[in-house]
Chain A
C-alpha cells in the first residue's frame, strides 16, 4: 500500500512539462522563447501542444523515433573503418518553428540569390562581363579551385546551373537570418528533411492535426519535373551515386526512389558517339538527364581526374554537345567559393539591379592586405575558414582556440592569403533541445533547399542542424551535430498546404 501512495507523485514528477525551467541564453536569439521565457508570437500553439506531451512521454517517443531511423536504415556511414560503421544522424524531437511571415521573406530572398548566382555562372563561363565592369576581381573567381577552365564556352541547357542549391543560414542575436554559405555543387541532407517529417508524424500523430505546418513532400517530384523540363517529357533521368560506401548513400537511394528514377553508378553508364547510355538487361539504353551526386573532379576521367573510377569517360563530351543534362552543372564551385561569397551582394546588384533581400555575414577576404592585417590583429574574435574545406574542417574558431592554433593559422594565412576568409563570430540562435538535463538551449542553423526549374522553388523550411554539445557552435554531422524537423507555419487561408490535411 505504501507503494501505491508514492506512485501518483512519481508520475507527476516524470510528466513535468517539457519546457519547465527552460532558460534561453542571454546573448543569443532563441527560436521559441523570448528572453523573459514566454513563447514567441505564432508558436504559442506549438508550445502548448508540446507541453501537453510531458517529459516522460517525450523520452519514450524519442526512443521510438531513434528505433524508426535505425530500422529504416536511415543512416550515414562513417569512414573511420574500412567496413564503414552506420550511424543514425541524431534527431531531436523538439521542432524548430519558422513563422509564415518570416519564411515568405526568406523564400523571396533565396530565389533572388539563386537567380543571381545562375546568371553569374552563365557570365563566368561565357562573356565575363562582370570582370570588365569591375563588380568582382577576376582573379578571385578564376583563381577558385572550383573554376573549371576546360568548360569555358559551354552553357548548360536552359541556362540552369544550380538545379539544386543549399543555402546555409544562421540567425544572429537580433533575429535576422544571415547567409553563412552557399552550396551549389551537390548539397546533401534533403532526405533527412523528408524522413524527419515522416518520423515526426509517426511519433506525434496528434500534433499535426492541430498545428498547421507546411508540407515538405513535394520536393522529389519538383526536382524530377525541373530536370525533365530541360530534356523531354519522357526523358530518362538517372541519379548517379559514387556507390554504397559513400556516406550519403542512403540519401541517393531515397531520392531515386521518391523521384521514381533509377540509381546508377559510374560503371553502369557509358558514352558512345557523344551519347550517354545505361547498361541494362536488354542492352544499352539512352540517358537524357544525370542527377549526379559525385564531385566535378571525379565526373569524367577523360577531362578531370584520370584515376577516377566513379565517373563516366566521355560524359563531358556528351554534355558539351548538349546530349545530356548534368545536374548540377559542372563548374559551379567558383560561385559557392568562400572567397567569392563576400561579393555575392554585389553580384545580386550587378545582374538584377536589386538590393539583396538576404543579409550575410560580414567577411574579410585575406587576399586583400588591409583585411588580412585586420584579421590577424583580431584572430581571437574571428572564425577563419579555409576556402577549399567544408564539413567544419579547416576552421579556426577564435574564441575557443589556443595560442598555438592561432599562430599556426596566422602562418598559413600569410603563406596563402587567397586560401582564407574570416568572419566575426556570430552568436548563433538557439532552439530548445532535449538533453539528459531536460530541454536546454542548443545552437542551430538552417539549410533550405532551392530547386531551379521553370520557376525557382524553395522547399518550405529545410534542414535544421543542431550542435548537441553544450556551448558548441559546430552543427556538422561529422562533428557531433544532430537535426530537427523544421516547421514552417502555414499562413491563414493557406489550407491546401497544411501538413496532415489529407490524413
Chain B
C-alpha cells in the first residue's frame, strides 16, 4: 500500500488525519489540511541471496534457496526469511530448513535485532518432519564489512540451538565479486529425529564468484565444503549418510 497514492488520488480522511497528526506534532502552525512537506513511505524489498543448483560429490543434486524479504520503515521492519532445498530424485517434496517471520528493529547503525517465529519442515506436504521455533536474531555488518546473521532458536519441544552465518563480498572489479561464506550450527540438546546432536553440529563454507550484469541480477558459480561434528556426525554415519562433503554450485543472486 502506498501512502502517497492514497493521499494524492483518493485523499481519504484517514490519510489526511495521519498527515495532520504528524504536522501538529511539529507545531509550526500549518493548517490541518496541508500535506507534510516531506512524506515518508514504507517500502519493501526482496533479496534472493542464493538460488542455486548444487551438485555434491556424494549424494543427490539439490535445488537450494536462501532469501529474505522485508517491509517497513527505516527502523521497524517485518522480515520473512527462508532457507531450504529440494533434493532431486529422493521422491520427496521441497523442505524449509528454516522459514522465519520476524519483527526487526534497528538498534545500532549497522545492527538489527529480530524476533519472531520459525518453522522447519516440508512445504505443504508431510514428507518431512516439522517443528516450530521461537527465534531471536542479530543481523548486521561487523567492522570490515562481514555481513552476519546470528540466531538463537528454541523449538516447540524446548530444544535450544544456535546458528551463525557470515559472508563477505570481495570486489574484484566493479561487477565481479568473490563471496566467501561460512555457516555454523550448534545445539544445546540432542534431537535425534532431526539428526541433531549436542554441541557443534556442522560447519559449511562456500566460495562463490558472481558477476553483476545488473545490480539486481547476478549469476554465480562456486563450491562448498561441509562437515558434521560430534554426535551429529555419529547419527549421520549410523544413517549411512556422509559426514563430510564437497560440491559445486551454479545459481543466481537477485533483489528488488
Decide whether A and B are members of one complex: no
Q: Spell out B's residues near A (CB within 8 Å).
A: none
Chain A residues in contact with chain B, CB under 8 A? none
